[in-house]
Chains A and B, each alone.
Chain A
Amino acid sequence: MRVLKQNLLLWAAGTAAALSVALGWLGPHPWLALVGLVAAVCLLVPAGRPWRRLGSTRAEALDEPPPAPAQPPIEVVRRKPVDPTDPASLIENMLLEGRFALLLRPQIAGQLDEEQFQRALACLEDEMALVPDGEVVVGQIEEEPEDERPSEEEMAARQGRVVRVERFFLDRHPVTNRQFYEFVAAGGYQQVALWEASVLPAVLDFVDRTGMPAPRFWSGGCYPPELHDHPVVGVSWYEAAAFARWVGKRLPSDAEWVKAASWPVSVTATTRVQRRYPWGDTMDRTRANLWGSGPKGTVPVGEFAGGVSVGGVYQLLGNVWEWMWGNFAPTELPGQRFVLEAPMKGIRGGAFDTYFDNQATCQFQSGEAAIARKRNIGFRCAVGVCDLVLARAPARTARPAETDHPMPMEVGA
């Protein structure tokens, strides 16, 4: 409105100037023409800006333009286009995209030369931590029972169940915006093979603020530049699973995640010691980004290094909840039953807005609808050791690892 008023004034002043020029030219007072000319020149200079502003205001009012898209990461823009007929360029590109786990799959590893294979292994070592095989207790209820004398059945339910986990690699950090951008830029949302058939109709709805296929809080298919190293959020379970598939990994199971976080140690054949938090048994809010820790939002995935797990995994607790592969299955005490309005997937770890200490432990599990795209849920990926080729014979032949998993020490955490 203010801009419109300014322009009306300019119109009036301009008309007056033009009239004075005409009157001066035709009439008996030539000095009027001179005054009019000077006034017209003076008006033309500032007039440009309000006109431009008026133009933009009109455009906004008529058709709200989407917010300006953030600039894509420069290293992605500068990357050379891939020649699909050239395997070397394809492999190079996959390494740059962070898809080293896919390259180390038995079906593909044979295509790599020694240098590429070593680079893929180095990426694996840098970006993922090895979690050894063993047993872990999952579904334990840590709170004391309200009843002073709980039944044996209830006590058994509270103790959880023991699950055997094979050795696997887990991402050291949650997947960042930068990493997820690779998936978006490579057309991950358009690759039907990456998505579960049941969810394909919903994929069209997985868009950002501007309607582009991307996480919910991005704009123009890209994330805000200041959130480069922050965990990607606003992604549904399906988007997380599609990304994991694209990089040759998968989402971790509940037992795997708990094992990586609580790092159980077997004391006897039947008993084991598990940590309540990755750093020990006492809550310390300086080690995890939770409510009251300070930031009140996500932080870069490398921060809160004090909360790193024994195996070298960052931010298992705090910053963002992490999608699990499995369905949400809360521990039910005898005589109790949970009724879900819609199927839910498990999430673990707590987020920057998790209020209670007891809801940010290695054991605590929550759930969310698989299709939900929330600002405090992200994910990290896992891959079984048995699914990768970690060493090979000099003859460059890929060896299926299902029968034998050579595990050089230097590859582990």
Chain B
Amino acid sequence: MTRDAIVPLESYRLVQYAVPIPCYICETENTYDAEYCRNCLAPMALAHQANSQKIRPSMIAVMGGSAVGKTVYLGMLMDMLSRQPERMQLLARGAFSITLQQTTMSALARCTFPEKTPNDPDRWNWVHCQVRWPKRRHPWELIVPDMAGEALFEEIHHPHSYRVIGAYLKKCIGAMILVDTLRLKEGSRDQDYFTMKLVSYLAELHDSPKESWQRRPVAMVFTKADQCEPCVADPAGYAQAHAGGLWQQCLERFSIHKFFAAGVAGACVWRESRSEGRVRVPLRVEPFGIVEPFEWLLEQIKAQRLAGK
């Protein structure tokens, strides 16, 4: 049975709905109630947050091949800086920004690694956070997504297959490129080649030399370095010796770059089970070298901003 009802016409709502909202990443106009951008699939919450709080967050990219440790690195970085704020403090803006930290930490505490990041951009974890320093008055607003390595791979080989990646990287003010030390140590050149492709992709992203990645700071981070002592002792020397192509590309393409070594697990073993198959699990969590690349990157960006003024 149906009944008639009188619904008041809230015209101000209609007006609100009629105003298009540009996506914060690709600037495509979306309707007010869109959850994800219809063009690049970035969450529209970023745009709503920027509009409502009247802020313009900067963007930093964390990139690397599949299973290089991007999720663990980013989750660990967020957790460390939110727990120990002596050097700098990281405050998540919005509940969705804490999801990455939560999933990573709960997995590591159970001595497992977090699940692989899905390829679909609408399922990535986007982090919008505020960085504060004890002696600086103005905090920085940052957006850092946890991009899937395979999506990145696809975009590099077939540009525009993941529009969000291209649009995002064009706007980034700096990047952290992660390289798997274990695979380099095993003698595999895949990491070297993949990172060379990534560097090359970044270098070709802009037409104008003023906007190019040549002038943007890039931190090259060797992940899983706890299993490789020479890398911890001298990351740049290790890059030169074991990833010669990457080393040369960095010299040629990035005027501001530095190599770092980082690790999260003290030791790892393989665990076999019927449900999961064969997975690598950490035996304990003892992070090192996590904050340093991020800190260096922000210092370089700050120096550039001061020089620009």
Contact = CB atoms under 8 A, between A and B. Distances in A.
Contacts of B111: 359
A351 B274 contact: no
Main secondary structure of the interface of A (DSSP, over half): loop
Interface string A327-364: 01010000111111100100000110111101100000
A354 B273 contact: no
A339 B283 contact: no
Interface string B249-280: 00000000000000000110111111100100
A367 B272 contact: no
Contact of A344 (B84, B267, B270): B267
B273 A337 contact: yes
Interface in B205-248: none
A353 B269 contact: no
Contacts of B266: 366, 368, 374, 376
B110 interface: yes
B284 A366 contact: yes
Contacts of A374: 266
Contacts of B285: 354-356, 359
Q: How large is the interface on A (under 10, 10 to 19, 20 to 34, 35 or more residues)?
A: 20 to 34
Contacts of A330: 269, 283
Given A143-B110, A292-B84, A335-B275, A341 B269 contact: yes
Given A292-B84, A356-B285, A337 B271 contact: yes
Interface string A130-147: 000000000000010000
Task: Specify which of B266, B267, B275 lies most central, judged by the most chain A CB atoms within 10 Å of its CB.
Answer: B266
B227 to A, nearest CB: 10
B286 A351 contact: yes
B271 A353 contact: no
B271 A367 contact: no
A206 interface: no
Chain B residues touching A, majority SS = mixed
6 contacts: A328-B283, A330-B269, A337-B273, A338-B271, A339-B271, A376-B286
Given A328-B283, A353-B286, A359-B109, 12 more contacts: A292-B83, A330-B283, A336-B272, A339-B269, A339-B271, A339-B272, A344-B267, A354-B286, A355-B285, A356-B285, A366-B266, A376-B286
Interface of B: 83-84, 108-111, 266-267, 269-275, 278, 283-288
A127 B269 CA distance: 36
A367 B266 CA distance: 9
Contacts of B275: 335
B122 to A, nearest CB: 26
A358 B284 contact: no
A195 interface: no
Given A335-B274, A356-B109, A358-B109, A367 B286 contact: no
A351 B284 CA distance: 10
A259 B272 CA distance: 30
Contacts of A338: 269-272
Given A292-B84, A336-B273, A337-B273, A355 B267 contact: no
B234 to A, nearest CB: 14
B267 A367 contact: yes
Contacts of A367: 267, 269, 283
